[in-house]
Copies of this chain bind each other. A is one copy, B any other.
Amino acid sequence: MILVRQEIGDVLRDYRLQKGRTLRQVAGRASVALGYLSEVERGQKEASSEILASVADALDVPLSVILRRVSDRLAVSEGANANSNMSGMHIPDTVPAELVAHYDASLMSGRI
């Protein structure tokens, strides 16, 4: 089972590290406990929507960009899982537009 909190944690930590900030700085700016933020980054605690918004703001990254990165990572994980039983398949590094369109088109036509 692929867990969103693990992908969210990785994305949050990546942005924090690349901006050269410490857990203390981000936690302080987001008004969350340092230990809690550490567990969120490690995918061991769920971040509430309020906390996610505060941390995104503290990192100066839009929530939409963070969630976009999360969805891209999930696509890679799902592709890897699907490929573990198949060989030679293309592993997407983002949610293919066709895949999203497929689900929407199928819904529209009532085929699902």
Contact = CB atoms under 8 A, between A and B. Distances in A.
A95 interface: yes
A42 interface: no
Interface string A36-72: 0000000000101110110000001111111111111
Contacts of A86: none
A4 B49 contact: yes
A81 to B, nearest CB: 10
Contact of A75 (B18, B64, B99, B108): B64
Given A62-B99, A63-B74, A78-B62, A107 B68 contact: no
Interface of A: 1-6, 15, 18-20, 46, 48-50, 52-53, 60-72, 74-75, 77-78, 95, 99-100, 103, 107-108, 110, 112
6 contacts: A2-B53, A5-B48, A15-B103, A64-B74, A64-B75, A67-B70
